[in-house]
Amino acid sequence: MARNKYDIDEKLEGEFNIDYLKRISKYIKPYNKKMILTLILMILTTSASLLGPYLMKDALDNRIPNKDVRGLILVSAIFLATLAIIAICSKNRIFLINDIGQSIMRDIRLDLFSHLQTLPFSYYDSRPHGKIYVRVINYVNSIGNLLSNGLIQVIIDMLSLVFIIVIMFSIDTKLALISFTGLPVLLLTVFLIKNKQRKAWQDVSSKQSNLNAYIHEGISGIKVTQAYVREDFNLDILKELGNRYRDSWMTAVNTSFILGPSVDIISVFVTCLI
């Protein structure tokens, strides 16, 4: 088997498949109760945060012009109550999210380490140990964040979007429809950028894997390096790998940051229409 060295990028053998998420969903099942509790806290937080602007609108449009002091005090009390709900729910939600995320990463690492101990010698002979280290640490962290923070954040955003749409249409249907004119452009922008982002960050992962692999080999083989006086030569290789990682990182960041200004431009355009 050809050896995957530090200067060879690891390529994905297949495209992303939804079955991959089904395979790793088993790590979420032991924490279903905590996930449900977190979801409930998210609903409360989202509802309270969206209620605040409506209360301010009611105070500015109705209570203050009509000099309704009692009503203004009531609205203020409800607004303070929403702030308290947001603070309490957010604190417990953050704690639960981190607890679930760390527990999932622990379970994945235990299973992965147990699997690594069953692999044949040929697996370790065919790739640098630094690349294996990246898979055990970095990739597991990414999966853990996806299963905890990422999944929960998607649910939060979807709930917020539903509540916002309901409130918008309940206040003014015409303005709500106008505000959605930029949605097709936004979806097209996301569709055009997402593949470039995915490939760019995959390249970053490969370059980081190469860099870590060489650092690991350099430290484990330091006696050989000093025996053959290769310090300067090895340093030049490390600089080259570092430059490649830096360049790939900057490319990925530049690609990712295209979405932000695009959203701002679409938002300004829709605001002008309104």
Burial class (CB in 10 A: 0-12, 13-18, 19+), 119: exposed
C-alpha 130/C-alpha 10 separation (Å) is 13
Residue 247 pLDDT class (50, 70, 90 cuts): very high
Helix (H) or strand (E) holding 240: helix 231-256
Q: Note the pLDDT tens digit of each residue in 74-132.
A: 888 988 999 999 999 989 988 888 888 888 888 888 888 888 889 888 877 777 777 77
C-alpha 254/C-alpha 201 separation (Å) is 11
- Other beta carbons less than 10 A from residue 248's beta carbon: 20
Q: Taking a C-beta distance cutoff of 8 angstroms, is the pair 118, 81 a contact?
A: no
pTM of the prediction? 0.66
Q: Note the pLDDT tens digit of each residue in 167-217.
A: 778 877 888 788 788 788 888 888 888 888 888 888 888 888 888 888 877
Residue 17 pLDDT class (50, 70, 90 cuts): low
C-alpha 39/C-alpha 159 separation (Å) is 10
What is the pLDDT at residue 1? 41
Burial class (CB in 10 A: 0-12, 13-18, 19+), 19: exposed
What is the pLDDT at residue 5? 66
In degrees rounded to 5, what are phi and psi of residue 36?
-65, -45
End-to-end alpha-carbon separation of the chain, Å?
A: 63
